[in-house]
Amino acid sequence: MTSERQAASGEMPDGQSLRPEQNGSGSPAPARANILLVDDRQDKILALEAVISSLGENIVKARSGKEALRHLLTTEFAVILLDVSMPVMDGFETAALIRKRPRSEHTPIIFVTSINNSENHISKGYSLGAVDYMLTPIVPEVLRTKVSVFVELHKKSELVRQQAEQLRQFEEAKHRRELSEAADRLDVETKRNRFFTLAIDLLAIASFDDYFIQLNPAWEATLGFSADELRSKSLLELVHPEDRTTTAEHLTRLKLGTAPRYFENRYLCRDGSFRWLGWTAAPFATEQLVYVFARDITSRKAAETEIQNLNGELERRISDLTDINSELEAFNYSISHDLRAPLRSIRSFAQFLREDSGPELKGEREDYLRRVESAAKYMDVLLLDLLQYSRLSRSDLEMVPVSLEAAIGDVLASIETEVQERKAEVTIRKPMPSVMAHPATLRQILYNLIANGLKFVEPNQTPRVELLSESNDGWIRLWIIDQGIGIAPQYQKKIFGLFQRLHSTETYPGTGIGLALVRRGIERMGGRVGLESGAGAGSKFWFELKNAAAV
Ligand code: ADP
């Protein structure tokens, strides 16, 4: 590449470009400055270049004013060395055009002129914005000094410009950051405000002297008072008179940090009614503020009052029912008791009749008398059972440790004849523990369950009853297991009711009171009773009482 073309392309002879260099720190170091040499004569250009090349700057060469202007379009120069006497467009014309362009308006121009024309040229040059001039023949030292002054100046101003640019960028980044932080803060604040405004609960901030400072719109929606109205009154002023003392005490304790955070009171509404509010308040002593969160609990309170009323009503009814029950039981007892006296007369007179009549009593008459006797006997059994049932409900049961083994032994002894007659088998799995029970009631229960086990079998079946006990977590469960006719599931609950029987008295005699008595007796002793069975599958009755060893 020739030096001319190098100059035209803005490249250094060693191939380096005009682009600014970067230093190691990342901020651009002032690049080598560009110096433009303009002269139509190659030899003069070379002479100038030879002098200033030692400055180590980037030298660009132009052989005409036009070419110089072309360079100025793309490149910024620290200084222009401009030959005055050039053909077509001389140095002055070129300088005038350079000055017209804003980019090169202030670029220093040193005119190079011969000593002969110096006087004219110098004054004209100054008028066209030259900053200096050089007279040929050139004194190398002077040229280098002058050029280096402008180069230094250019580099300094470039540095200042870069620093100013860096500062501007830094300021701009800082400003942008501050702007974005402010926008974020605004966003958060807006969201918080929206939360505060839109919350359906009553949110507020109150001062330690019991005045609202800030309230959300839910207050007005709930109480009807505007935020201004609420702020103008002491917190206590609108509290229901009956709740005022407790509220004042609560507020005092709240500020001391000793109150529970939640409390309830009634608060006045604009229409004169009161609404129940449930308050959760958090005091901040350092700020002398209380953050309040309240909820309208009027409907909950109304529901609670309704439930209380219903409960009261229920209790009244239970007590009425208990009274009626005890009256009925007393009535039942006295009827059962009083009916036995006329029954005894019936039975006695039937007996007299039989004895007096002797052998004359036969046929239909004898049958009638037999029926009277049997009905009277059944009625006596029924009345006795009813009396027992009533007694069980009325009397206090004293609970003592009772040996199951002994109680079962007593019961079996009382039915020994029947067991033998019916060739029944009763097995007791020993040993058996003791339970907490009322001895007579326990014996009665055992009797009913064992007797039922022996009774409810198919006509030709041998009655078999097995008794075994289980211990579980402080309780003893006694099983009374038979292999009789069993009970279908749909009847298993029903048979514990009074007078509930699944068979006619002709098939299986009985009054239907036995299991009712079992259930009431067990329940009165604090236990439970149950049954596992199926039609034709035998029955497993069980009851549970407290283990005497665990009490
Ligand atoms: P009762 O024995 O006087 O009939 P209960 O109250 O003792 O009255 O029994 C009610 C009914 O339950 C009985 O009539 C019978 O139908 C049924 N039942 C009770 N125990 C058994 C049993 N072990 N096996 C089958 N059925 C039974």
Q: Could you list the pLDDT tens digit for every one of the 551 residues in the chain?
A: 333 333 333 333 333 333 344 444 444 555 789 999 999 999 999 999 999 999 999 999 999 999 999 999 999 999 999 998 888 888 889 998 998 888 888 899 998 887 666 666 667 777 776 677 888 888 899 889 989 988 998 888 888 888 889 999 999 899 889 888 988 888 887 777 777 888 888 999 999 999 999 999 999 999 999 999 999 999 999 999 999 999 999 999 998 888 888 999 999 999 999 999 999 999 998 989 999 999 999 999 999 999 999 999 999 999 988 888 877 777 777 787 888 888 899 999 999 999 998 888 888 889 999 989 988 888 888 888 888 888 887 778 899 999 999 999 999 998 998 899 999 999 999 999 999 999 999 999 999 999 999 999 999 899 999 999 999 999 999 999 999 999 999 999 999 988 888 988 889 988 898 999 999 999 999 999 999 999 988 999 999 999 999 87
Ligand 1 pocket, residues with Cβ under 6 angstroms: 448, 452-453, 456, 482, 484-485, 487, 495, 500-503, 510-516, 539
Q: Which amino acid is at 130?
A: A
Cα–Cα separations (whole angstroms), residue 142 to 112, 121, 513: 12, 19, 143
Ligand 1 atom closest to the Cα of residue 541 is: 23
CA of 446 to the centre of ligand 1 (A): 14
**CA 538/CA 466 separation, integer angstroms:** 11
pTM of the prediction? 0.50
Q: How many CB atoms lie under 10 A from the CB of residue 324?
A: 10
The radius of gyration computed from the CA coordinates of the chain, to the nearest angstrom, equals 61
**510 CA distance to ligand 1 middle (Å):** 8
Q: What span, in angstroms and rounded, lies between the C-alpha atoms of 216 and 202?
A: 7
Beta strands at 274-284 and 289-296: parallel, antiparallel or unpaired = antiparallel
Say how many Å lie between the CA of residue 520 and the centre of ligand 1: 15
Distance CA 512, CA 500 (A): 5
Of 332, 365, 394, nearest to 524 by C-alpha is 394
Residue 546, phi then psi, degrees to nearest 5: -65, 135
**Sequence-separated (6 or more) residues with CB below 8 Å from residue 161:** none
- Using the mean position of ligand 1's atoms as its centre, give its distance from the Cα of residue 332 in Å: 22
Pull the structure tokens for residue 93: 């014309």
**Using CA atoms, how far apart are residues 203 and 195, in angstroms rounded to an integer?**
10
| Max Cα-Cα span within the chain | 193
Atom in ligand 1 nearest the alpha carbon of residue 515: 6
Q: How far is the CA of 475 from the centre of ligand 1 (A)?
A: 26
- DSSP assignment of 121-178: HHHHHHHTT-SEEEEESP-HHHHHHHHHHHHHHHHHHHHHHHHHHHHHHHHHHHHHHH
3-state secondary structure of 86: coil
